[in-house]
Structure 1
Amino acid sequence: MGRICLKDKEFELFIPEQQIREAIAEMALEIRKDIEGCGNPLFVSILNGAFMFTAELMRQLDGPYEMTFARYSSYRGTSTTGKVNEIMPVTVDVRGRLVILLEDIVDTGTTMQYVMEKLKSQGAADVKLATMLFKPDAMRCDLVPDYIGLRIPTDFIVGYGLDYDELGRTYKDIYKLVGE
């Protein structure tokens, strides 16, 4: 599929599924090497967007890891509000543990910086960030993800978990907004 329409917007194919899966497989190798002998790391998937990324990454890691989910929001439509809303915070005890956050995309960094600082204040031994996609040119803080699948420009994108007003998450490829 070369183009899709969601509500009032048109999107064109940007990153095919195979390229996404290859990037996630490389990330899984790096994470596995880094957490070897690390005890009991906790993986936290950030909903809703990271569900497809999380499923593929955990399939690649293929281990006895503990997994939980959290949900935060800072977007409305195609732009960030700049304010982080805790919809479903991490409820697992993180004290003394390595926590690896799994995020679909890091752009401004505001949400993940907030979550990482909160988990550290709750006693996590270390907090690392794995993101499927990273928009370095959109960063508004000093956050640098520990694991990056693909670096991309600041285009607005959908698919593979990413949405436009909750639509488009279930596409297997990633599409970018046409004409903006």
Structure 2
Amino acid sequence: MTQSNASIGEFISEAKIQARVKELAAMINKDYAGQEVIIVGVLNGSFIFCADLFRHLTIPCQIEFVSLSSYEGTESSGEVSFRMDVKQSLVGKNVILVEDIVDTGLTITFLLKHMKLKNLKSLKLCSLLLKRARLKVEVPVDYLGFDIEDKFVIGYGLDFDGRYRELPYIGVYGE
């Protein structure tokens, strides 16, 4: 552990994450056998999870990204703003949103409503993490990596003010 990561406690190991990513991809491959899927990653936090998941998919698939903002430091601001939408039409397509973490549920609920307006064939949500204790709205997570307690986590794409995304594991900030 480098000096800058000295106060980061490992919460979910790299090996455990990779095993779960393979399991999630296997579920998606089974559910969408013979169909094409558009994976829509939610930037910036999901980019590593999205890439790892995408590499394990054996079904025909494409990838797109959206970017939203709702965080200030370690807390959700409660207000969601769009930075970037998908570039291609999703009309009649199977879409799986790939999110790093569902915390309050406000951001992903905003995005799910937005996506439903695009006349999709199907829409599912894949999230690496879910913090049930912080949910303000119920969110239907179709493919879930880990259900976690209310801790501020970083690593594997998750950040604290843009830092720590590069960690290969998920750590708890401040432990």
Normalising by the residue count of structure 2, what TM-score does the alignment of the two structures yield? 0.93
In the alignment, is residue 113 of structure 1 matched against residue 95 of structure 2?
no
Q: How does 1:90-105 map to 2 (within 5 A)?
A: 90-105=86-101
Say if 2:173 is the partner of 1:177. yes
Quote the residue 1:57 is aligned against: 53
* Moved segments of 4+, more than 3 Å: 3-6
Paired amino acid for 2:27: E
In 1, the alpha carbon distance for the partners of 2:109 and 2:19 equals: 27
CA RMSD between the two structures: 1.7
- 2:28 maps to 31
> Please, which moves more after superposition, 87-96 or 14-23?
87-96
Give the distance between the partners of 1:18 and 1:146, measured in 2 at CA.
22
CA contact (8 A) 2:29 2:59 kept: no
* Counterpart among 128, 134, 143 of residue 132 in structure 1: 128
TM alignment of 1:12-91, pairs within 5 A: 12-38=9-35, 40-91=36-87
Contact kept? 2:74, 2:152, Cα under 8 Å: yes
Q: Matched residue pairs, number?
A: 175
Q: Name stretches of at least 5 consecutive residues in structure 2 with no aligned partner.
A: none
Distance 1:29 1:64 in 2: 14
Q: What displacement does 1:5 show?
A: 4.2
TM-score of the aligned structures, taking structure 1 as reference length: 0.91
Gaps of 5+ in 1: none
- Aligned partner of 1:10 in structure 2 is 7
Question: Identity percentage over the alignment?
Answer: 35
**AA matched with 2:139:** L
Equivalents in 2 of 1:161, 1:57: separation in Å?
13
